[in-house]
Amino acid sequence: MKNLLIVDDNEEILDIYSRILSPLNVKVFITETGAEAIKIAKETDLFLTLLDIHLGNGMNGATLQEQIKIISPMTINIAMSGYFESFSTIFLRASGFDDMLEKPLTTKCLHGIVNYYKSVHDRWMNIIQ
């Protein structure tokens, strides 16, 4: 079973997204803070993170993503936001995000993105082993 992390400062989103993803044979970790996300990244072999870029607790998603990449370079990091502006998408790609999703995310979108990146991660791991 693969591990994924969702970081969002909205507790309802964490609850809804974790329930949506529960049938996908993944273990879902959730947190509202960047500090807790870093702790989870250090203690868990994550294949994917879904990171809100506008965290209201002192750390933004871009900074968090950079720290997770240092801890776990093979983790796929996806930015989430209720709105993206053209300059922010360029910044997010340049800062190392692998993909970006605009909230709210549908069940179909969440299932599709997680299943897609599970297969991408499997291919990467087969190549490096």
Q: What is the DSSP string of 22-54?
A: GGGSEEEEEES-HHHHHHHHHHS-EEEEEEESS
- Is the pTM of the predicted complex or chain greater than 0.85? yes
pLDDT, one tens digit per residue, over 70-85 is: 999 999 999 998 877 6
Say if residues 54 and 12 touch (Cβ distance below 8 Å).
no
Give the DSSP H or E segment for 92. helix 86-94
Its CATH architecture, for the domain 2-128, is: 3-Layer(aba) Sandwich (3.40)
DSSP assignment letter at 105: P
User: Where do we find the tokens 């870093």?
Assistant: 38
pLDDT, one tens digit per residue, over 67-121 is: 999 999 999 999 998 877 655 777 788 888 999 998 999 999 999 999 999 999 9
